[in-house]
Amino acid sequence: MHISEIYKSIYRYWDDTTPLYGDCGKLCGKACCESDETDEDETGMYLFPGEEKLFKEDKNFRVVSSDFSYGDGKIADIAICKGPCQRDLRPLSCRIFPLIPYYKNGKLTVIQDPRAKHMCPLAQKKALSYLDPAFIRKTEQTFRLLLRFSEVRSFLMGLTEILDDCLKFDPTEDLI
């Protein structure tokens, strides 16, 4: 089975699980989904290894290479969303935001993404207790499954180095 099939199963497992019971977009005007293709600073979401296969032919996304390399020099892809959102087909990064896997010394945890603090109210430390426990659990379970793939392990180790750089500026970040 190709790993892209695993992602399809993961999407089904997530169903419509979101960070809060309600619509958190009302807190912030859906800040994490704002993207302007005419903007030179347009941003996207990392695709996890093998996930790009699901989005390269999807007209709602543009898949481009990022400047993040991991493992033996593999380049991570980014999906730039053109919207409108197809909830059941959104990338894993969209589903877990603002949580992120943190993988170090063979140990997996999930944390609030320090890179999200400038935009997401739910990435603030005090918001942790408001997150839906199912949302936290599914994030952790998803990456426990994906860690079976060596490329995902390499990706997460590289990603954790990026997170560590961010956490140097905020060493009070809590691991969940």
Helix (H) / strand (E) containing 167 = helix 150-167
Give the nearest distance from C-beta 94 to ligand SF4 in angstroms: 3
Q: Which of residues 21-60 bind ligand SF4 (CB under 6 A)?
A: 24-25, 27-28, 30-33
Give the nearest distance from C-beta 107 to ligand SF4 in angstroms: 26
The reply on whether position 100 binds ligand SF4 by CB under 6 A is no
The reply on whether position 134 binds ligand SF4 by CB under 6 A is no
The reply on whether position 120 binds ligand SF4 by CB under 6 A is yes
**What is the rounded distance in angstroms from the CA atom of residue 116 to the CA atom of residue 113?**
5
By DSSP bridging, strand 99-104 and strand 45-46 are unpaired
By CB under 6 A, the count of residues binding ligand SF4 is 20
**What is the rounded distance in angstroms from the CA atom of residue 37 to the CA atom of residue 151?**
30
The reply on whether position 114 binds ligand SF4 by CB under 6 A is no
171: which 2 tokens? 């060493």
Question: Which runs of consecutive H residues, i.e. helices, occur in the chain?
Answer: 3-14, 25-28, 92-96, 133-146, 150-167
Q: Which of residues 57-96 bind ligand SF4 (CB under 6 A)?
A: 81, 83, 85, 90, 94
Q: Which residues bind ligand SF4 (CB under 6 A)?
A: 19, 24-25, 27-28, 30-33, 81, 83, 85, 90, 94, 97-98, 119-122
